Amino acid sequence: MAEVSRCGLVALVGAPNVGKSTLMNALVGHKVGIVSPKANTTRVVVRGVRQEGTAQLVFVDTPGLNTSTKAFDRQLVQQARGSLADADVVALVIDATRGFDAQAKALAESFAAKPDMQVYVLVINKMDKLTPRSKVLELMTAAQAYGCFTEVFAVSATKGGGVDDIAPALAKLLPEGPWLFAPDQATDMPLPLRLAEVTREKVMLNLHEEVPYAVGVVTTLLADDEAPVLVQQTLLLARDAHKPLVLGKGGGMLKRIGSAAREEMQTLLGKGVRLELQVEVKPRWLEQQNLLAEMGVLNMDTGDGDA
């Protein structure tokens, strides 16, 4: 007898920096979401697809939930909460070394208050950093006490340990239904946005303190019928004072960002890329809805973030 097809959304939620995007990339087997050591790297809700037997798991990586009151950060949190509400399975990701910190605790308590509303699982990530490893037992006991987690996984998203157990277990929890994506599609993120995110990751990795958070990246031209593929992007800066830092001495910083981004774009596209970056100071870009939508921070279809 043929097995039924299953398909569902698995939202990865949690505090900033716990490794949600790294985990999603490991689960999908492709780099679809950007990663950096800095908190609040993800600004865009990214979907990544994985086939597991007859099931299609659609992972939804979300911006880390934080308690910032800044309008821009609130929009990110709203996006993350929207994805959480739509999901068939909610995977709370925690950092093993931080355990149930205030953010994770608040989420776990909210799940425990409505245990039948969705299926909840817990992913204890960064196990490679936990010493002694036996400390995980305390976390497992704490998880059990919430009474809402159907499964608990202890993994290392960077080293790979335990990650392979997640998809088969989650596949069984998904509802029956037709697949939403073509089997070879890793993400539904539009290519111009995906390429802008590649550059933003290099911005996050190379610039420091408040500067990278005030930079937005927009792809203004993508000519993929040309060889090499031509990509033009604009880095939007919120402050004039950031310009010398983003450009660097003799333009060196921008060159470094550009060449790292170009290299990754070539790997992604499997073709040569010519990347042209320009920098524009646009003090209010963080409030401009059209720019935010272009960067995927706002979902135009649902009008999210209008508040």
DSSP letter assigned to residue 65: P
C-alpha 155/C-alpha 162 separation (Å) is 5
In the shown chain, the binding pattern of residues 75 to 114 toward ligand GTP, with x for contact by CB under 6 A and - for none, equals ----------------------------------------
Question: Which amino acid does the sequence have at 132?
Answer: P
Q: Which does 8 bind (CB under 5 to 8 A by kind): Mg ion, ligand GTP, none?
A: none
Of 114, 129, 239, 243, the residue at the interface with ligand GTP (CB under 6 A) is: 129
From residue 129, give the alpha-carbon distance in Å to each of 12, 22, 124, 141, 286.
21, 15, 11, 19, 35
Separation between Cα atoms, residue 259 and residue 202, nearest integer Å: 9
Closest to ligand GTP by CB, 97 or 299: 97
Task: Give helix 102-113 / helix 136-146 axis angle, nearest 10°.
Answer: 30
Other C-beta atoms closer than 10 Å to the C-beta of 138 total 11
Least distance CB 103 / ligand GTP (angstroms): 10
Is residue 250 near ligand GTP by the rule CB under 6 A?
A: no
Q: Which is nearer to ligand GTP, 62 or 273 (CB)?
A: 62
Q: Which of 7, 9, 11, 18 binds ligand GTP (CB under 6 A)?
A: 18
Whole-angstrom distance, CA of residue 57 vs CA of residue 171: 7
Q: 12 - beta bridge partners?
A: 61, 91
User: Judged by CB under 5 A, does residue 17 bind Mg ion?
Assistant: no
Our finding on whether 35 is near ligand GTP (CB under 6 A) is yes
Query: Which candidate, 71, 73, 55, places its Cα nearest to that of 7?
Result: 55
Distance of closest approach, residue 36 Cβ to ligand GTP, in angstroms: 6
Nearer to ligand GTP, 5 or 158 (CB): 158
Q: Closest distance between ligand GTP and the C-beta of residue 54, in Å?
A: 29
**Residues engaged in binding Mg ion (CB under 5 A):** 20-21, 41-42
